[in-house]
């Protein structure tokens, strides 16, 4: 499978700009993982870190779920791998099923897209219940872009360490 990764527009309205940049970063993580074996996807960066590409996929599934489903859509659902809200737990891929992790991540992205598209405005206010503050959909989308961009930087180094691939 070759992931299509369209460059975001340089001129668009705010919502389209946020949406396309977020999708670009989602696709970038997918590209960083393409063509690798289960063992390579699980390979940690360096001791003592447990950070791996598969761990990043699991982590981002949790982040998508937390912000879009739990916060923006106010769904009372548990996280998948981070039951105590320690999102670093998703990095531990001991016994993890690669296909399950990618399916969960893609599923959360689809939920996120539906929730964002159904919202009438970026000004939609949602309550972050654990910490007790309000956020807008705009802030959530900006946060997600930041989260993906930061972790895609990690994915660059992880992928280069696995097979020397850079610049994708």
Asked if residue 167 has pLDDT above 80, the reply is no
Which stretch of DSSP H or E encloses residue 133? strand 133-136
Quote the pLDDT of residue 168: 72
- What's the pTM? 0.92
165: tokens are 């691939």
- Tell me the per-residue pLDDT of 59-112, one tens digit each, with 9 for 90 and over: 999 999 999 999 999 999 999 887 766 666 667 788 889 999 999 999 999 999
> pLDDT above 90 covers what percent of the chain?
73
pLDDT interval class at 1 (50, 70, 90): low
Residue 22 to residues 105, 122, 141, 149, 168: CA-CA distances in angstroms? 14, 14, 7, 9, 17
At residue 127, the 3 state secondary structure works out as: strand
Sign, CA torsion 61/83/43/158? positive
In a 13 Å sphere around the CA of 19, the CA atoms on its Cβ side amount to 17
CATH classification (class only), 14-163: mainly alpha
At residue 134, the 3 state secondary structure works out as: strand
- Domain residue limits, the chain: 14-163
| Greater model confidence, 87 or 12 | 12
């Amino acid at each position: 499978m070759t992931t299509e990764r369209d460059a975001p527009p340089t001129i668009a309205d705010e919502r389209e700009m946020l949406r396309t940049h977020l999708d670009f970063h989602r696709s970038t993580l997918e590209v960083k993982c393409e063509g690798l074996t289960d063992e390579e996807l699980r390979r940690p960066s360096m001791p003592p870190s447990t950070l791996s590409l598969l761990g990043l996929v699991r982590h981002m599934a949790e982040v998508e779920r937390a912000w879009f489903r739990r916060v923006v859509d106010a769904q009372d659902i548990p996280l998948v791998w981070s039951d105590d809200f320690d999102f670093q737990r998703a990095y531990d891929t001991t016994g993890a099923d690669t296909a399950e992790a990618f399916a969960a991540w893609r599923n959360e992205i689809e939920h996120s897209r539906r929730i964002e598209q159904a919202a009438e405005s970026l000004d939609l206010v949602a309550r972050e219940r654990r910490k007790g503050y309000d956020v807008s959909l705009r802030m959530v989308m900006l946060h997600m872009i930041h989260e993906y961009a930061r972790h895609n930087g990690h994915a660059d180094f992880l992928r280069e360490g696995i097979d020397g691939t850079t610049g994708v």
